């Protein structure tokens, strides 16, 4: 089983989060037992019998703001991962052609390679990383 979320699954989660009543939500304990929007207007009201335990109610209420934040964080991580993979590919390609993506440095006792900044900037722009 593949546990990685697809782009479509993430988009569906984002859509559900955006269509839900704006948050943050809060919850009350019985006898009212309800989830409320920021103005105190009930979103969900239940009978006292069967009301969720406080940790469950807290989880449900916080999900309204937690889910969008988690989606944002996951999308940012995926952009950074793609960027890192791109940099790694530039380095690998440069092993076959030192003039493609790196400048070889052999000066002042240092021997190594540096990826051209323009290549890294182009890759960062490709993954929308410079606007974060």
- pLDDT tens readout for residues 77-127: 888 888 878 777 766 666 666 555 444 455 555 555 556 667 777 777 787
> What is the C-alpha separation between 107 and 93, in angstroms, rounded?
23
Q: Is residue 119 a part of any domain in this protein?
A: yes
| 27 lies in some domain | yes
Distance CA 46, CA 31 (A): 9
| pLDDT for the residue 46 | 67
Per-residue pLDDT, 44: 77
Region for residue 84 given its phi and psi (left: phi exceeds 0; alpha: psi -120 to 50; beta: otherwise) = alpha
**31 assigned to some structural domain:** yes
Global pTM reads: 0.64
Domain count, the chain: 1
Domain of residue 74: give its range.
7-126
Helix (H) / strand (E) element for 66: namely helix 54-96
In the chain, % of residues over pLDDT 70: 65
Decide if 1 is inside a domain. no
Best mean pLDDT range from 39-43, 67-71, 106-110: 67-71
Q: Looking at the domain assignment, is residue 131 inside a domain? A: no
Most distant CA atoms of the chain, gap in Å: 77
């Amino acid at each position: 089983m593949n546990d990685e979320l697809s782009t479509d699954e993430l988009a569906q989660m984002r859509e559900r989060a955006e269509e839900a009543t704006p948050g943050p939500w809060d919850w009350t304990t019985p006898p009212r037992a309800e989830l409320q929007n920021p103005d105190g207007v009930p979103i969900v009201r239940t009978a006292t019998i069967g009301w969720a335990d406080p940790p469950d109610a807290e989880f449900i209420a916080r999900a309204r703001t937690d889910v969008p934040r988690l989606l944002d964080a996951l999308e940012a991580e995926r952009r950074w991962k793609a960027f890192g993979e791109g940099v790694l590919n530039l380095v690998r390609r440069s092993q076959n052609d030192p003039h493609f993506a790196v400048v070889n440095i052999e000066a002042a006792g240092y021997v190594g390679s540096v990826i051209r900044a323009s290549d890294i900037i182009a890759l960062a722009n490709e993954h929308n990383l410079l606007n974060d």
